[in-house]
Every structure is written in structure tokens, then in C-alpha cells.
Amino acid sequence: MYNTLIVFASNHGTVERCARELFRLLKGKVDLCNLNRRELIPDLGTYDTIIVGGSIHYGKIQDVIAGFCTNNQQLLADKRLGLFINCLYSGVKAQRQLESAFPEILTRHAVVQDYFGGELNDKKMNFWERIITRQIVRSEELEVMLYKEKIERFAEIITSHEEEN
């Protein structure tokens, strides 16, 4: 069995929901690390697989995720790696956001990477976030939803890749 760490940052709860769903679907020992709530990061060297996830705000991933990836780039590149984002876009725009969210060395190395969609949680957004987000959703006619099948496929790919090695 493999040891897996899911490292994420969740501003409004969506990334955490996706991380917890991956946690539920994965086999072996799986730990969660929410960088927004944790000062101490577990020893990455003790994990075979590391999954990194974050959300896209105003076209880029959270600074805490970007910093984590930059600071641990070489170590992450030596692990079985999965990358995911949550965003309101789908298709080509979401794919572009996924490609630009993480350092190129990590995107080239990742066993699996995907976008899981997004959702709006008015209770966790501030006034300006609600206004700007709703305006973007209306003007670009976005379908706001989470793609559960993408989360399931992501877990299957990580699991099947573990079984191959």
C-alpha cells in the first residue's frame, strides 16, 4: 500500500470538498493537509504520492499553493504526483488555467492533472467576490458545477498508476 498526501488550499470550501472526496476514494494511507489551516507541513519525504490542489481566483492559483509548489518543486518532481484545480471555467479555458497554475516541471511530471469545476458559496464570499463572480458567470454564461466523474477518474488514475509500480 502507498502513502498519499493531499495538499490543498481552500478559500471557500470547494477545494476542500474535492480533496475529501479524493481522500474517500483513494486506497492505502491518505493524509490531508490544508495549507490555509496548517503552519507545519508533514514530511513530504514519507509519502509515495502527493496530490496538490487549489482554486483559481482572478486567473491564478492561490499564492500559498504557488509558494508550496515552488519551494518543494524538486521533491514533488521525484514523487508520484497528481495536480488539480477548481475553477468556474470548463473546456479550453479551464485547461489553460490548469496548465498555468503549476510550474511546468510539475505539469510535465504529473501522473494525472485535471480541473474539477467549481461552485459558488455566497456565505463564504465577501461582498466584492459575490458581485465580481456573479458578473463573470452571467457575462460568460458559465455553468457552475462540480464534475464528480472527473474526481473519480482522477482517483482511478492515481490508484492504477500505483498498482503498476
Q: State the pLDDT confidence band at 117, using cuts at 50, 70 and 90.
A: confident
Q: State the pLDDT confidence band at 130, using cuts at 50, 70 and 90.
A: low
Cell of 42: 508533514
Per-residue H/E/C for 104-136: HHHHHHCCEEEECECCCCCCCCCHHHHHHHHHH
User: Domains (ranges, CATH) in the chain?
Assistant: 3-155 (3.40.50.360)
Q: State the pLDDT confidence band at 146, using cuts at 50, 70 and 90.
A: confident
Closest by alpha carbon to 101, among 71, 60, 151?
60
Contact 135, 112 (CB under 8 A): no
User: Highest mean pLDDT: which of 131-135, 137-141, 157-161?
Assistant: 157-161
Model's pTM, two decimal places?
0.86
